[in-house]
Amino acid sequence: MKYELSSELQQMRDAVRKFVKAELEPLEQSIDATGELPPHILPLLGKHGYLAMRLPEEVGGAGMGLFPYCIALEEFSRSHRVFGLLASGGGGLTPIAIARHGTPEQRNNYLSGLMDGSKRTAFALTEPAGGSDNSAMTTQANKVDGGWIINGRKHYINGAHDADFITLIAITDPVKRTRGGVTAFLVDRGTPGFNVTRVDTTMGSDVIKLAEIEFDNCTVPDSAVLGKPGQGFDLAKESLRDGRMAVSCSCIGTADRLLEMSAAHAKQRVTFGKPLSERQAIQWMLADSEVDIAAARAMVYETLRQIDAGVNVGTAPSVCKLYCSEMVGRVADRAVQIHGGMGIVQGYPVERMYRDVRHYRIGEGSSEVQRMLIAKDVLKRVP
């Protein structure tokens, strides 16, 4: 099912698709095999402006709204999952948070490196004490003269071991906690007391690994605070809203490619004297995936349009993220089934994508957490 986009958006989508096909798709299997990102990728994305899509024009970005930006992410996610992550700026949308809430000094120090691909970042919210329940976090920053002393541990932080700096979310008022007692800090790698204690490889195509980081009397200056003290949880929530929309579009992009590959395979593979595409059992799987993707696009594009128009969309990002992350799992499962043995042999994109899409049901808030948020909203509507 075709979703009509404005000609401007269509042109942008076509340009990104052309770039992804020419420059990124040829690398996706070798990245999966080696677990390494070729060093030219980040600078290449930077050169083409793909690391600055959402940043405002006054800092050198393209000033895109969330809708066009997410359409671009959808295209990146047709290839390897890592490209979508990189194009989203890594680090839970840290670049846009710095552009919106950073001081002129922070913008100067960090943004140009993120835009040209010479700097990497990460977003550290989750910790052993507070995963789904972020309000249980224990990492704490105590105010001292001229700065803050941080103690605590964060884990499952995408790319924190490779990051030049991270955005850290910590408790700064143990009484207020998530009601105005949480602050965001920009912490540079190499700051004494900021240590990477562990790097986890995961079941997916593991290029950007998950790191555990520890803060042991790590002292940062007042100038490291991003936004205002006490504003950190709002900043994290803002990042999660946009992050959930970004994940939703990434799921759509991956699902669309899986369906395309499934249809192509079904037409070409002959069993019992006929192509698979002539069998009703296979046609129904293709049809179900098409319906899944169409429903996802309709809800996601409408939510994005409303966000860009300044509408308070409430729990719609949770609805989108929940639906899309589960939808891409169903589409990937059907794709494996249609490809038969080829669907589970390493070295074919379907097998890699099947592994990769499992992440989406956990990161940026698990399916259960999205259901909790959505149900709370539903129950509020009746007396």
Ligand X SMILES: Cc1cc2nc3c(=O)[nH]c(=O)nc-3n(C[C@H](O)[C@H](O)[C@H](O)COP(=O)(O)OP(=O)(O)OC[C@H]3O[C@@H](n4cnc5c(N)ncnc54)[C@H](O)[C@@H]3O)c2cc1C
- Residue 51 · residue 116 · CB < 8 Å: yes
- Residue 357 · residue 328 · CB < 8 Å: yes
State the nearest-atom distance from the C-beta of 236 to ligand X, in Å: 9
Q: Is the CB of 277 or the CB of 315 nearer to ligand X?
A: 315
State the nearest-atom distance from the C-beta of 287 to ligand X, in Å: 30
Instruction: Round to whole Å and give the CA distance between 374 and 315.
Output: 6
State the nearest-atom distance from the C-beta of 371 to ligand X, in Å: 8
- Please give the positions annotated as active site: 364
- 3-state helix/strand/coil string of the chain: CCCCCCHHHHHHHHHHHHHHHHHHHHHHHHHHHHCCCCCCHHHHHHHCCCCCCCCCHHHCCCCCCHHHHHHHHHHHCCCCHHHHHHHCCCHHHHHHHHHHHCCHHHHHHHHHHHHHCCCCEEEECCECCECCCHHHCCCEEEEECCEEEEEEEEEEEECCCCCCEEEEEEECCCCCCCCCCEEEEEEECCCCCEEEEEEECCCCCCCCCEEEEEEEEEEEEHHHEECCCCCHHHHHHHHHHHHHHHHHHHHHHHHHHHHHHHHHHHHHCEECCEEHHHCHHHHHHHHHHHHHHHHHHHHHHHHHHHHHCCCCCCCHHHHHHHHHHHHHHHHHHHHHHHHHHHHCCCCCHHHHHHHHHHHHHCCCCCHHHHHHHHHHHHHHCCC
Q: Is the CB of 282 or the CB of 369 nearer to ligand X?
A: 369
Residue 351 exposure: Cα atoms within 13 Å on the Cβ side: 12
State the nearest-atom distance from the C-beta of 251 to ligand X, in Å: 13
State the nearest-atom distance from the C-beta of 347 to ligand X, in Å: 23
Contact residues toward ligand X (CB under 6 A) are 92, 122-126, 131-132, 156-158, 210, 359, 362-363, 365-366, 368-369
Q: Is the CB of 122 or the CB of 322 nearer to ligand X?
A: 122
State the nearest-atom distance from the C-beta of 134 to ligand X, in Å: 8
- Residue 70 · residue 252 · CB < 8 Å: no
Q: Is the CB of 54 or the CB of 153 nearer to ligand X?
A: 153
Q: Shortest Cβ contact with ligand X: which residue?
A: 131
Q: Is the CB of 218 or the CB of 357 nearer to ligand X?
A: 357
Q: Is the CB of 210 or the CB of 286 nearer to ligand X?
A: 210
State the nearest-atom distance from the C-beta of 132 to ligand X, in Å: 3
Of the candidates 324, 383, 335, 334, the residue with the CA atom closest to the CA atom of residue 359 = 324
- Residue 214 · residue 151 · CB < 8 Å: no
State the nearest-atom distance from the C-beta of 368 to ligand X, in Å: 3
